Amino acid sequence: MIKMVATDIDGTILRGDFGFSPAVKSCVKDLCEHGVKVVLVTGRMHCAALKLANELGLNTPIVSYQGGMIKENSLDGKVYYNKYLEPEYARKIINWARENGIHINLYMDDVLYVEKDDEIIRRYTEARYISYKVSLFNDLKFEKINKILLIDYANPEKVNQWVKYLNKEYPQLYVVTSTPYFCEISHPDAKKSTAVEYLCKLWDIKQEEVLTIGDQNNDIELLKAGGIKVAMGNATDELKACADYITDTVTNDGFVKAVEKFCK
């Protein structure tokens, strides 16, 4: 019997227009009413994921920053788990990105910083209803670094090249794509699998009682933690290769169909 559904957000339960379908909302509500713990497991900031959790009526802890933070469902709630990126590595990666003209999002203590107020950051934040601060990174005190996000909306192949390069240069870090346009860098233990395993221990839930579901390469770690591993129909080929089952796309409520198959 499934006792926990650990789900990615974007491309899994949240559509391309950044809205939830009525079927997804109803499905999540039904799971909660039947005692199943529904946990959002995302690369998003906690404050950004919180709005979506509240829209779904969830009160479970939120896993944010690829698994780098587990925090109660509130802005000032209890933090169960935190893994920060070492400032030394952050500075090296930022310097490399600057030299290569790459857009940098820097997240510290659940605040988003950029050095330039440009179209890239406006496109990124407007779709996610989050705010940001503009500051030269050299003027900031580097502490409590949640992650670094590198963005190129025009050339996904460049993003893949960044991931390969950074994984080779910094094998001690966790570097992964979260969309074709995003390269994420974080602490090596800031993984979705680690966070789900933490919550399983907290709630005395066995792996076989967990359904995990996602759509991107950063969800490979998420699927590893599940007893039932589900990839969305719109998932990457790499994620589909890790799945026990491939459901329909996010547009066609693949999440709902997976729940109906395995949780009813």
Domain ranges across the chain: 4-82+190-262, 87-186
Q: 3-class DSSP state for residue 93?
A: helix
| Tokens, residue 142 | 């580097």
d(CA 184, CA 19): 23
DSSP bridge pairs for 206:
none
pLDDT tens per residue across all 264 residues of the chain: 999 999 999 999 999 889 999 999 999 999 999 999 999 999 999 999 999 999 999 999 999 999 999 999 999 999 999 999 999 999 999 999 999 999 999 999 999 999 999 999 999 998 787 999 999 999 999 999 999 999 999 999 999 999 999 999 999 999 999 999 999 999 999 999 999 999 999 999 999 999 999 999 999 999 999 999 999 999 999 999 999 999 999 999 999 999 999 997
Rounded (10°) CA dihedral 236, 123, 162, 250: -10
SS3 content of the chain, % helix, strand, coil (to 5): 40, 25, 40
Element (H, E) at 111: strand 111-114
d(CA 237, CA 173): 23
| Tokens, residue 189 | 């233990």
CATH of domain 4-82+190-262: 3.40.50.1000
Element (H, E) at 16: none
| Sign of the CA dihedral with 235 first, then 237, 239, and 240 last | positive
For 226, other C-beta atoms within 10 Å of its C-beta total: 24
pTM of the model: 0.95
CATH topology of domain 87-186: 3.30.1240
